[in-house]
Amino acid sequence: MGILEVRNVSKRFGGLQALNNVNLTVEQGSVHAIIGPNGAGKSTLLNCFVGRLTPDTGSVMFDGHSLLGAKPHQINQFGVSRVFQTPEIFTDLTVLENVMIPTFAKRDGAYKLNPLARVSQETEVRDHAEATLSDVGLLDKRKMVASSLSRGDKRRLEMAMCLAQDPKLLLLDEPTAGMSRADTNRTIDLLKQIGESRGITKVIIEHDMHVVFSLAQKIAVLAQGTVIVEDVPENIKGHPKVREAYLGEAQV
């Protein structure tokens, strides 16, 4: 049994069947990629894991908890964190403050309205935040205002904000979208390193096949809301069904 078990999940938007009987098993500590052409249902599926959407049918179990009907903050407390395509950071705060807020949230169970008022007394929280920033290579930028970071660093900061909550499952929605090749490669290295040191399970949606094949141990291919193939990377490359699904797009 995996840490994340998706069974017969379907989701319809009006006349469109966005997900059709999706099954997925994600093993503890693994990197599982979900790929597929535009509109295949990848984001819809991810949204079902974080409480943004509720499937019409099926079940999603994470580490013994049903995620269906759970509120986003409850899912977060279960140990699921999501890194968005567009970094969701507090641009007016410093890099360190950005990481301290989710650290408080993890400790106190919710975001406090003004947690930074107590910052000076909270050395424990600051130490944890600084250790997390060190993990993502941003410790020397901790006093910078977040808005002044480069695009790649903003994504690293958002990853630090997720890691500060000590997640068991990290959901990554196109973590390298819009990055230069150099930044992409740095992010691949960072994600590999996070996996090694913390044993965090990762589910990654990604269009860049260089990223997918560098990281994933298992790949599920979605097309028109259905998992058409799920296998190890070497069996995905050149698979006739996958080629057919991508016809007219970048080839896998």
Ligand X SMILES: Nc1ncnc2c1ncn2[C@@H]1O[C@H](COP(=O)(O)OP(=O)(O)OP(=O)(O)O)[C@@H](O)[C@H]1O
Residue 11 or 126: which CB sits closer to ligand X? Answer: 11
Residue 6 or 164: which CB sits closer to ligand X? Answer: 6
Q: CA-based angle 70:75:77, to the nearest 5?
A: 130
Q: How far is the CB of 147 from ligand X (least distance, A)?
A: 26
Residue 7 or 207: which CB sits closer to ligand X? Answer: 207
Q: Which residues bind ligand X (CB under 6 A)?
A: 13, 16, 18, 36, 38-44
**Cβ neighbourhood burial of 18 (10 Å; 0-12, 13-18, 19+):** buried
Q: How far is the CB of 218 from ligand X (least distance, A)?
A: 18
Residue 22 or 157: which CB sits closer to ligand X? Answer: 22
Radius of gyration of the chain (CA): 18
Q: How far is the CB of 206 from ligand X (least distance, A)?
A: 10
Amino acid (1-letter code) at residue 144: M
Q: How far is the CB of 20 from ligand X (least distance, A)?
A: 11
Q: CA-based angle 95:98:99, to the nearest 5?
A: 95
Could you give the CA distance from residue 222 to residue 40 in angstroms, rounded to a whole number? 6
